[in-house]
Amino acid sequence: MSRQFDRDDPLLVITTGGTIDKAYFDALSEYQVGESQVGRLLQAARVTRPYEIVELFRKDSLDLTDSDRELIAGHIQASRAMRIVITHGTDTMTDTAAALENLADRTIVLVGALAPARFSESDAAFNLGMAFAVAQVAPSGVYLTMNGTVFRADEVVKDRARGEFVRR
């Protein structure tokens, strides 16, 4: 018997790293995944809906493994949460979404950014806000939301040449 979503249940936010949490270090001349910015973004947005943030990884999505995806799925299965947002790097977001398809009795929304949240002109805050909203209103299933568009996870690919997600 599946559990119904209660409006007072905290929304679960799982962070895995990716561009949304990248920081730039001049001495290294490269980006590294740093401390999650999700809590800061939700506080700045004055979100009043209850939520819980769980930081599972600080990885670039190209470094995520099948074992990591199993850990994400296991964490969701062990949780009572029926509404979940996962921050994730964009390069393998669709791979992780596919690994979560058997959890489609819940509403799971994967989201990332094309520019780090620490940058003033980042898409991170908008994308996270959109994912937070989609997780609350969408029916059960696995979704991706990026740059103002919501996709069913099984209907989307990343167009690397254009730097955006598109329907298959």
Mean pLDDT by groups of 10 residues along the chain of 168 residues = 61 86 58 71 84 88 92 95 93 94 94 76 84 95 93 90 86
As a whole number of Å, the end-to-end CA separation of the chain is: 33
pLDDT at residue 30, rounded to an integer: 61
Query: Cβ distance 148 to 165 under 8 Å?
Result: no
Is 2 part of a structural domain of the chain? Answer: no
Residue 105: Cβ-neighbour burial (10 angstroms; 0-12, 13-18, 19+): exposed
Of 27, 26, 55, 30, the closest CA to residue 40 belongs to 55
Is 1 part of a structural domain of the chain? Answer: no
pLDDT at residue 1, rounded to an integer: 42
Is 75 part of a structural domain of the chain? Answer: yes
Is 49 part of a structural domain of the chain? Answer: yes
Q: What is the CATH number of the domain that holds 122?
A: 3.40.50.1170
Is 5 part of a structural domain of the chain? Answer: no
pLDDT at residue 33, rounded to an integer: 65
pLDDT at residue 141, rounded to an integer: 97
Q: Indicate the number of domains in the chain.
A: 1
Is 133 part of a structural domain of the chain? Answer: yes
Residue 143: CB atoms within 10 A of its CB come to: 23
Is 4 part of a structural domain of the chain? Answer: no
Q: Which tokens go with 70?
A: 């199993």
Name the pairing type of β-strands 149-152 and 141-146.
Answer: antiparallel
Is 3 part of a structural domain of the chain? Answer: no
Domain that holds residue 128: 11-167
